[in-house]
Structure 1
């Protein structure tokens, strides 16, 4: 893949979205210059404040012209065909351009879908496992646009984030995460430079976008649990001492340690980034299939980062944290199984070694579960990412409202004692 960087233009709008644009993209995709777009309809694919790095649209296109491929609806009608697309354009407002410059979102995700995803899908196909990703339909670098198949047209959907996944659902997703991690580790073994451009995650030291969020949010957490009664007084004092070092300790979990098992992390691996096809099967097989989406934050480090991210953001209160140990063991078993199935030749961590690497990053579990998850699953307070990192009265009001909710308080009551028992705050 070319290493040329795409310069995002301020003020870019969806005025480019016309018949000609989609006609050109579909002609390339179908390798047929007879494709002619008749019309299309579009709608926003995300709600307000749900996505902060891209403008995302769902576009349904009607077109004519013979092709060797079926439309996403499965139609073989040679006269009129229909295809449903997801169109992502890099956010172009001034704050986003400044805040996310080092992440290089657009180029990173295009490289993933162009160079990495097909290789992973091939390895999965060789094992008889279903593909993990949506198909890339087209890319327009001049407009910072990427077009993907719309998985919703094939029966996939995002499940509600607030409730969280139950035990069997969590295991089904952890299996897919383990396959992803194993395949990426094997790809890196085959080509050590394959992830050279996947440098930075949310908490990487080179990234300042979220640096103020942690201490500001910890202040509100301390304020909230101060009202929980005398049993929480000990945690109030420990978290006050933690405030001055929370960012450094959290960043340390993202540091690359060559002595650990490392692979590509998704780094945004929570419920809204799984497209799931549900089934009417037994509880032991709750989903027909699961696909991962949104690879803008992907970077290389210990996969325990993704593990903490998912368990603390997306698992139901019935499992979080009571069944964390079982779930981590399940993930580890799946990771080892697929590494061996893919003939990984480097050293595979033993269970004690993996446990130690996981335990070393427990502060990230706390930050994910207690500082970030309530913000992510909040559905009542409209608060943008830009506002969440600001130190002003309006942002403070928003944070207080989020952490005052019953769901947030329930999370804090369960997770703070749990992470304290692990020695996280010592």
Structure 2
């Protein structure tokens, strides 16, 4: 469920990377670039295609990095052309030669798994490609435009070059050219990184609430998040990782059979209980959630003498209308360094302050929750934290990627069982479980119960 590799794989050999789609040819890219540059006679002189996604870094899509060298038709191509309908150029290297301008640009091409019917079928049931294409094509640009109209404006997302509905592909700016990179998923975020991520998320949530107020009904149609009422295709993955959690609790001296028995009873209820978190509630604050917010779906640009630390949110395959509890618990339970676990309430307070300030900057007339109301709403959705801690976290901080692919997550064969056992041998995961499971138990989250 990641967007890009951060170099924590097991090598650079070709077998460790997903191949680029066969239709990604010079002719294909040239046609898109001609449309983007508004130059029907533009010619590509060189196209470099490299995989950008290592196994274990991305289970839901294939990322390909391309570098395009091209020459425009005119001899005096202007650097100040207006590309209002498309993306502003990220990098252009001009090498003047006679009357022509040789230029170079870098892009990322995001595609689905197209050669595996099993994988394709699962993701199709979750509408992942459709959701993300609509997000990058229709929604994210409008959220950015809304935010730009306030004093809270800042860049939140990568800019879109082209959305190809026929091939289920998205081409957008290569953020690596601007020195953005994925953080270290095996370490997690410190306080500075965490607060910046929450600021970006709060502004996205605020802009989405305003968008829905002004154009009601559009965002609420997005209802195919990782947990939803339409598909349970991911059930084997979540239930099988609960089996590993049971085994770990049983052998852990700090936990024991009481925890193992409770987790065993929850195994067949994990989908239903988490889906309830995803059900929008009329009496709560709802917004468009990112749906898969963790380290690998956030691009970082480090701080230097000339610029501040920055982040951009990426990967919107599971965006859905619902409670902020979805994003906050998912992020807190997957991406924070352990020392921050004791400061969750302070982080919620910070998120809430940015959310409220941004909503007021929009003159939002809808429901704005108080801090107490937000805290209670997040408590109601806290089973999301249980699910993320026991399942998603095991995948996200796994440092053994030899068997890390979607089939290993979904099937129940010897290879898959070995992958899950190896993932649950992770020291950081085990320490996190020993910390969080007693807290969840004290809150009654590990008890089978009837919820309204």
Question: TM over 0.5: same fold?
Answer: yes
Which of 136, 140, 150 in structure 2 is aligned with 1:127? 150
Partner Cα separation in structure 2 for residue 228 and residue 127 of structure 1: 52
1:72 match: 90
Deviation at 1:281, TM superposition (A): 6.7
2:392 match: 372
Partner deviation per Cα, 1:275-329 (whole Å, 9 max, x = no partner): 11110479xx9x522111111111100011100011111111111x211111111
1:334 match: 354
Distance 1:214 1:340, change over 3 A: same
Unpaired runs of at least 5, structure 2: 1-18, 448-452
**Contact 1:242–1:425 (CA under 8 A) maintained in structure 2:** yes
**Contact 1:260–1:357 (CA under 8 A) maintained in structure 2:** yes
**Match status 1:85 vs 2:99:** no
Unpaired runs of at least 5, structure 1: 1-11
- Which runs of structure 1 show a deviation greater than 4 angstroms over 4 or more consecutive aligned residues? none
Secondary structure at 1:291 match in 2: strand
TM-score for the superposition, normalised by structure 2: 0.86
1:6 match: none
Matches within 5 A, 1:209-224: 209-224=233-248
**Match status 1:31 vs 2:53:** no
Matches within 5 A, 1:189-200: 189-200=213-224
1:22 match: 29
Partner Cα separation in structure 2 for residue 182 and residue 404 of structure 1: 39
Which of 310, 313, 316 in structure 1 is aligned with 2:334? 313
1:253 match: 277
1:278 match: 302
**Contact 2:110–2:171 (CA under 8 A) maintained in structure 1:** yes
Deviation at 1:231, TM superposition (A): 4.8
Partner deviation per Cα, 1:79-120 (whole Å, 9 max, x = no partner): 111110001222212012210113222222221112111111
Partner Cα separation in structure 1 for residue 358 and residue 102 of structure 2: 43
307-316 vs 401-410, greater mean Cα deviation = 401-410
How many residue pairs get aligned? The number is 411
Partner Cα separation in structure 1 for residue 254 and residue 206 of structure 2: 46
Deviation at 1:16, TM superposition (A): 2.2
TM-score for the superposition, normalised by structure 1: 0.91
Partner Cα separation in structure 1 for residue 189 and residue 282 of structure 2: 33
**Contact 1:370–1:415 (CA under 8 A) maintained in structure 2:** no
Secondary structure at 2:200 match in 1: helix
Matches within 5 A, 1:319-398: 319=340, 321-381=341-401, 382-398=403-419
180-189 vs 195-204, greater mean Cα deviation = 195-204
**Contact 2:155–2:312 (CA under 8 A) maintained in structure 1:** yes
**Match status 1:423 vs 2:444:** yes
Partner Cα separation in structure 2 for residue 374 and residue 406 of structure 1: 11
**Contact 2:330–2:385 (CA under 8 A) maintained in structure 1:** yes
Which of 70, 76, 82 in structure 2 is aligned with 1:63? 70
Partner Cα separation in structure 2 for residue 71 and residue 200 of structure 1: 33
